[in-house]
Structure formats: structure tokens, C-alpha cells
Chains A and B, each alone.
Chain A
């Protein structure tokens, strides 16, 4: 089991010092029945369509990933995590094919037309404006369920 005390010194120190925000009255949204859920993925892997502007190192904004255009590149500032998995299979960080299979199987209702990417190295408090934009887009796409996937 890898908890922070087991991590090597540099990573342990950095991760220990990261700001951990809390909410006083966290929201709780009752999920829809699974067969009617429409699911969108929000990734913090700084992936974007080829040709999109790369993420800057402390970007607060997001990129839109259309499910029919998965020619993606990654412009995350950090190099401490494994990138070879996503090079082999996009589903290791953006499991669109798996969700589509689950939709066909009735395990969820459907998969959204768009998914969204942020850069995980940024201060999440400063992402709120962009998160609101994403929320509006998801509502326009009748999404009710969000699967958050970090790297």
C-alpha cells in the first residue's frame, strides 16, 4: 500500500505540502437511475485535440474533447507520472470505449458527446470559472453524471 509516508523524499515532500481545500457544506446530488445516466468524463491529464493550444503550466482553463475526434496529445507540465499507458491505450486515462460498451450493455444510459480536460498542476480554486463553463456545456448535452479521472 502506497501512502504518502511510503513515497520517496522529493515527491513525499511536495505532495504533503499541497493545499487541500475543504467545503463546509458540500453538495450531494442524488444520482439518476443507472439506465438513464448520461456520463461525461473530466480528466486532469492536460489532454487536448492535436492542434489545440497547449496547456500553460498553471492554466485554469479547459479543453473540450469531442467523442468523434480522439486524435489527442498531452501537454501536462509534470513528468512524474507514467505516460506509456495512455500511449498504448487512450482508455487508460479517457475510458470512452469502456463507457460506450457499458451503455450498450445497459449499465449506464449513454455517453456524452463531449468530454473535458484540465491540467492537474493548476490551483483548483482558480478553475471554478472554467468549471462553470464546462457545467453549462454538460447541461446543454443533457449530462447528469460526471466521472472525474486524474493522472
Chain B
């Protein structure tokens, strides 16, 4: 759509995209289809030549004399079972009565965060950037803010103009980014299936967010329930589910 807009305003456009059927239907003037997982349109981090190969393939479409033109990028970045991103195992759904001692979990998450902090600082130093910070809260505040919701409370948002639940979502994403930025740098790993499995199935932080999901699924707060039903807190979009009453049913 934006390609059509900008082309009509006098710009030459080219896009890359992941869903071939949509590109075929929308017919942007010039498009390159990428058989890649979503989230990485330039393919591979820290691989300038591969990234430029994609750009050059896209920009080659400027040589076409008429359109719409859709070409396939020749490489494939394989995905697991057709899913375009990590998905939680469908059986991994906690119930409220499985949460256990929330004070103990909070301490475990904070200990885990502290154990990663040095490596996180090294990662920032190496990359000269961090993506943590959309919530504008300190890392040390993440656990307590999330845990208030797990306890059944709706704490006030610390930010003007952003409600408690949109803020919660930003905090959850900042928490994950803190973990995955640290591990990708420290362990030199670039595999979102591995990283998803590690964060959601191995870490205490992942468990805390699964507890948040469990509470939210039974919450009287419609917004809180909706964001888990629509898989906006936990990654269930690429599941074969949903199971009855679990996250993902909102789709």
C-alpha cells in the first residue's frame, strides 16, 4: 500500500516482503519476495555482503521497464514447520494455581538479571547500542512492575500518556531484549528458535511472563485478557493451537 502511495507521489519504490500471496494480491510496482523468517528482511546480522546482495537484488528491479514486477530472492533462510518466528509449545501453558510462591520467583528473576548484567554491559560496549529502553524504566524495575500484575494488581504507569497495560507490554519486551541481547553477544549465537526456547523454557524471566499470561487469561480486565488472547505478550502466533482457554484464542 505504502509503495503505491509513494509511487503516486513521484517516487520510484521497491519493497521486500515475506508473504508472497499478499504481494501478488497488492501488486506493488516492484517487489522482491524473501523466503525468510519474519523480522530479518536483510537476512543475517553482521553480514554486510549478504545484506547488500539482498539490496542489490531489490534495486535490480529498477531496471524493469514496466510493472508490477515481483521476483523471488534466490536464497532461502529455512524455518521450522512453516513458522515465521519462534512459537511456544502449545502444551506450555501455566494455570494460576501452578504459579507457586511469587516472592520466590521475583527473587530468582532478579538474581538471574544480576547474573547477566556484566555480560549485558559488555554487549552494549561491543555493539555501541542497546534496544532495551522502550519502557523508559530501569532494568532493576522490570521484575517488580511485571510481578504486580501477576499478583492481580494493576499498578499505575510511571509514564504520562501511557496506560499501565501498554507500559506492561513495553516492560515485558525490554526484559526479553535484555536477555537476548546479552546472550547473542556473549555466546555468539544467532538462532531465534534456540533463543526462544532458552528464554521461554529455561529462564526464570520467561516463567514470570508465563505466570503473567496465566493471571491475565483469567483477569476481569478486558485489555489485559485481550493482549494475551491475541498473543501480544507470549509468542503463540505460529502455533497449531490454540488450546481452549489459552493464549492465541483471540485470533
Minimum distance in angstroms from A149 CB to a CB of chain B:
5
B244 within 8 A of A: no
- Among B11, B35, B58, B177: residue with most chain A CB under 10 A: B11
Minimum distance in angstroms from B80 CB to a CB of chain A:
10
Residues in A neighbouring B162, C-beta threshold 8 A: 54
Interface size on B, residues (CB 8 A): 94
Contact A8 B38 (CB under 8 A): no
Contact of A83 among B17, B58, B180 (CB under 8 A): B180
Residues in A neighbouring B51, C-beta threshold 8 A: 91-92, 95, 98
Given contacts A10-B238, A98-B48, contact A91 B16 (CB under 8 A): no
Residues in B neighbouring A139, C-beta threshold 8 A: 9-10
Nearest residue in B to A2 (C-beta to C-beta)? B82
Residues in B neighbouring A145, C-beta threshold 8 A: 11-14, 62
Listed stretches B98-106, B125-133, B139-147; interface member: B125-133
CA–CA, A44 and B55, complex, Å: 17
Contact A22 B180 (CB under 8 A): no
Interface hits, B57-115 → A, CB 8 Å: 58-59, 62, 66-68, 76, 79, 81-87
CA–CA, A102 and B62, complex, Å: 15
Contact of A15 among B16, B19, B46, B170 (CB under 8 A): B19
Residues in B neighbouring A82, C-beta threshold 8 A: 37-40, 85-86, 192
Contact A11 B42 (CB under 8 A): no
Interface hits, B1-54 → A, CB 8 Å: 1-22, 25-29, 35, 37-46, 48, 51-52
Interface hits, B122-173 → A, CB 8 Å: 127, 129, 131-134, 136, 161-162, 166, 169-170, 173
CA–CA, A150 and B39, complex, Å: 8
Given contacts A54-B170, A82-B192, contact A147 B58 (CB under 8 A): yes
Nearest residue in B to A53 (C-beta to C-beta)? B161
A93 within 8 A of B: yes
Residues in B neighbouring A8, C-beta threshold 8 A: 81-83, 87, 238-240
Minimum distance in angstroms from B133 CB to a CB of chain A:
5
CA–CA, A84 and B127, complex, Å: 13
Contact B237 A10 (CB under 8 A): yes
Nearest residue in A to B176 (C-beta to C-beta)? A83
Contact of A98 among B52, B81, B82 (CB under 8 A): B52
CA–CA, A124 and B251, complex, Å: 20
**Chain B residues in contact with chain A, CB under 8 A?**
1-22, 25-29, 35, 37-46, 48, 51-52, 55-56, 58-59, 62, 66-68, 76, 79, 81-87, 127, 129, 131-134, 136, 161-162, 166, 169-170, 173, 176-177, 180-181, 184-185, 190, 192, 195, 231-242, 248, 251
